[in-house]
Structure 1
Amino acid sequence: MQECIERFFSNVWGACFGFQICAICVTTAGSILSYRAEKYGSGLPIFSLGTGYFVAWISLVWKWHKSETKWWNAIFVTIFIVPGDILAMIGFSKTSLASAMLLTMTVVFWVAPLSYFYFKRKINWKQFIAILFGLGGVSMVLVAQGTKGSKFVGNMISLGASILFAFGSIYQEKCAKEDGPVLYICKFMTLAIPLTFGLSGGIEWKELKNYKWDKLSIGLQIAYAIAIGLVYLMMALVLPHSNATIMTLNNLTGNFYSLAIDILFFHRPFKWLYLLGFCMVPVAIIFFVFSETKSEESTSNLNEKPLLQP
């Protein structure tokens, strides 16, 4: 059975299928948080994140293998990624689903300068143009949604999440090279679960106490946790047989899924300036990825992992 699974995901189409499941699950999880925020006044973002971590951990912990590598890099990853995930969750409650997913995707642009200073990886002129083009698209999105109100706050929070993800990616690369995807994810979850639930208890305890736990809200909570668990399970299966380029390109489809849900389900209108800027960012990311040299493409498959966090 395991050999069949590995054989399936070892080809390009199998890897694309796995990453599409990830993109759909991330979009589903983000949609659930946005819907709960509208219907119940809060999506309980930190608590929900903790439940997603827990489902992912119990799905993968049985594959935990012995390792002599130290935990320091995993600790540094947790310090950056957990706050980044929390900000991303809050962003879903403050701005539109499409904007939150799009702005967290800009982590690719922030990783580039950090990799230059940390790993001495040069940014070629094509990549530099791609970054400027992408930031131009981000600016259009921000202007179209206004510089005041909850949407602007949510957009800034989502950008903050992407910057934290970029810092975490530096240590993620080391963890992925030393431990492999499965062990890295298990270590991260082991540290992230108590931290997340601790923060939820300290920040959200009043909301948890007074939350309307009816059948719908409980069902949505379970669905969210399963969606996040599936994301990490698929990543552990697919990443060893794929590369960062295929992952990034498949992740971009999640942006258009989220835009469709915003328009068709949430009935949110978007200005032409927003749609133009929205399309510019994925184009810039594609151009950036295909402008990398072979040595840069050998970066760890988990270098873009935060992009999959809802």
Structure 2
Amino acid sequence: MSATNNFDQKMDLQEQQLQSSGALAADSTTPVAEPETQRAWHHRVSGLFTRKFIIILLLGQLLSLCITATTIFTTYLAQGANPVSIPTTQSFLNYFVLAIVYTAITLHKEGFRGWLKIMRRRAHYYILLALVDVEGNYFVVKCYNYTSLLSAMLLDAWTIPCVVLLSVFFLKMRFRHLHYVGVVVSLVGMGFLIWSDMEAGMNSPGSDYVKGDILCIIGATLYAFSNVGQEYLVRQRPVYEVVGQLGFWGAIINGIQLAILERQELQNIHWDGKVVGYIIGFDIAMFLMYSVSPILFRLSSATFFNLSLLTSDFYGLLFGLFLFNATINKIYPIAYTLIIVGIVIYNVYPGPEPNFRPILSKEEEEAMATKHEDETIV
């Protein structure tokens, strides 16, 4: 009996020790886990009130309003008493002004020889960027002749998954799983949008809504290449250089396309104060957007840029109801809600930083050029 009691006492003592050690472990882990969790959430919440976040948020909404303005002016041109469809001409004026303003700034900052060095060393990057951007503008502006205002604006959501994929492959960004979930949800919303246009038929503004949706998707895809390309360059080169070169080569490419595609349209346009005013308003909004967007690319990313622009759908909805007597199809709320939910899911975690191999910096280029000259002299 004594042996049994001794055994039971030992077992009880071991159980008490285990319970006490478990309690200590629980006590030791609990105060460590809670502060870490609290600090993590505090860091996320406090990040929303930093000066940088407020600046990029306001810049994003300014760009969103610019997009809404370009959409409204283009819709007025396409759906007026005398419909006007000159997407290349509209964009040409913007590139031309960008080239004049920012090339002048580049010449002031770098000098004429510095500008020639830029042309010699990096012109191929800017020519490709300008080509993609010019065609993206062409297809997006052209789509307003065939589809509704709301459809064209919501279909721009297609740019976001394209930007994410390009950012992964070219900018070497690593996104979390929730980022991809948010993109998929937005794509489902876009699918509902196309379905709503097909259900609307001729009751929806526009002569060929399916063709308009296809043109908008093509333009949105090209915009994704342009946005990622601008982020790639503006993170390494001065903003005035990137915008000036984009405007310079964009004006040349756009001018050639204008001469080929829109000579007849320009001759047939009934020019009046409204048409001229709409075109000027369009180009003012475009100039402001092209001037501000590189700053946002540098402070944030192309993905955040496009997420910010999706709020233009809300502004466009309000303007469309009051200015164009637009009607909302019963599937529109589902599509819009899904797109917004996708954006919210995406923003649970902040976007990643790019990790690409940069082009030579200005200092490195000068060092390489000096080294090359010394070797040539020797």
Question: What amino acid sits opposite 2:316 in the alignment?
Answer: S
Distance 1:249 1:123, change over 3 A: closer
Report if aligned partners of 2:185, 2:342 keep a CA contact under 8 Å in 1: yes
Report if aligned partners of 1:145, 1:152 keep a CA contact under 8 Å in 2: yes
Report if aligned partners of 1:27, 1:258 keep a CA contact under 8 Å in 2: yes
- CA–CA distance in 1 between the matches of 2:134 and 2:343? 24
Helix, strand or coil at the partner of 1:83: helix
Distance 1:146 1:43, change over 3 A: same
- CA–CA distance in 1 between the matches of 2:238 and 2:339? 30
TM-score (ref. length: structure 2): 0.69
Q: Which stretch has the larger CA shift, 276-285 or 252-261?
A: 276-285
Q: Which stretch has the larger CA shift, 169-178 or 22-31?
A: 169-178
**Residue aligning to 1:20:** 61
**RMSD of aligned C-alpha atoms?**
2.8
Deviations 1:102-133 (CA, angstroms, capped at 9, x unpaired): 21232121122233334454443222222221
* Counterparts of residues 107-146 of structure 1 (less than 5 Å): 107-146=159-198
- CA–CA distance in 2 between the matches of 1:177 and 1:11? 16
Match of 2:73 among 15, 25, 32: 32
Match of 1:63 among 99, 105, 120: 105
- CA–CA distance in 1 between the matches of 2:347 and 2:213? 24
Match of 2:296 among 219, 230, 239: 239
Which structure exhibits the higher relative contact order, with contacts defined as CA atoms closer than 8 Å and separated by 6 or more residues? 1
Match of 2:230 among 151, 154, 172: 172
Q: How many residues align?
A: 290
* Counterparts of residues 1-310 of structure 1 (less than 5 Å): 11-39=52-80, 40-64=82-106, 65-66=109-110, 68=118, 69-146=121-198, 150-235=208-293, 238-239=295-296, 242-244=299-301, 247-292=305-350, 294-295=352-353
- CA–CA distance in 1 between the matches of 2:151 and 2:220? 12
- CA–CA distance in 1 between the matches of 2:171 and 2:308? 26
Helix, strand or coil at the partner of 1:272: coil
- CA–CA distance in 1 between the matches of 2:151 and 2:355? 28
Could you tell me which runs of 5 or more consecutive residues in structure 2 were left unpaired when the two chains were aligned: 1-50, 202-206, 359-378
The structural deviation recorded for 1:187 is 0.7
- CA–CA distance in 2 between the matches of 1:71 and 1:258? 37
Distance 1:233 1:296, change over 3 A: closer
Percentage of identical aligned residues: 20
- CA–CA distance in 2 between the matches of 1:157 and 1:262? 20
The structural deviation recorded for 1:136 is 0.6
Helix, strand or coil at the partner of 1:95: coil
- CA–CA distance in 2 between the matches of 1:190 and 1:225? 16
Could you tell me which runs of 5 or more consecutive residues in structure 1 were left unpaired when the two chains were aligned: 1-9, 301-310
Deviations 1:164-216 (CA, angstroms, capped at 9, x unpaired): 22233443333212313321111111000121122122111111001000111
* Larger Rg over CA atoms: 2
TM-score (ref. length: structure 1): 0.82
**Residue aligning to 1:4:** none
